Amino acid sequence: MQVRAQLLQAASDIATDHGVQAVTLDAVAERAGVTKGALQYHFANKQGLLDALFEQTLERFESQMETRIAADRNDPHGASARAYLHSTIDETSPAASTNVLRVLVAAMMTDPEIRERYSAPMRKWTRPDPLPLEQAARLMICRLAADGLWISDLLGYQDLSPEMRDEVVRQIERMTIDKAS
């Protein structure tokens, strides 16, 4: 593994285990098994490291979205909403980088600068579809439901059985398919 990738993984692990505030240059260098100088060769400061970590996560999310949209063979109007659903909630997808996204969302809740910087790229995938109002609203409901399911998983306040969770996802998927097509 390249040093830069090791550093990003170490930062991700620390942020996931202990929160963003625990991500220090010393802690990341120690976790990655490199010197602080080696870390600073790649990242001048903590903000640069976090920015790279969050950018990597967003790039993976975008790539996953594009791949899922291209592979979708259902109603084309709902492809983006279905891709968003699965890219958001798929715990097995490395592109979702779930743990890093959790850290990013937590940071967005408390830091207005981080919120502004990283909410803008996500708007590309969450804006209403250019469709008649009823269709656009139905697809927006699906995206909001995906966000709700993801936040529920994040906070652990719903104790859904795997069967119930799968059925919730199936019903959201059904809502993305236009019955008139």
The CB-side HSE value for 138 (13 A sphere, CA atoms) comes to: 17
Residues 140 and 171 in one domain: yes
Assess if residue 135 is contained within a domain: yes
Number of domains in the chain: 2
**Percent of the chain topping pLDDT 90:** 33
Is the residue at 180 inside a domain? no
Is residue 82 within 8 Å of 68, Cβ to Cβ?
yes
Amino acid 95: pLDDT: 41
Task: Judge contact between 104 and 61, C-beta under 8 A.
Answer: no
Sequence-ordered list of residues with C-beta below 8 angstroms from that of 89, at least 6 positions apart, any chain: 96, 146, 149, 150, 153, 169
User: Based on the domain organization, do 38 and 121 belong to the same domain?
Assistant: no
Tokens of 138: 């139905």
> Where residue 42 falls among pLDDT bands split at 50, 70, 90?
very high
Q: What is the reported pTM?
A: 0.76
Q: How far apart, in whole angstroms, are the C-alpha atoms of residue 54 and residue 43?
A: 14
Here the CATH number for the domain that contains residue 35 is 1.10.10.60
* Confidence at residue 96, expressed as pLDDT on a 0 to 100 scale: 42
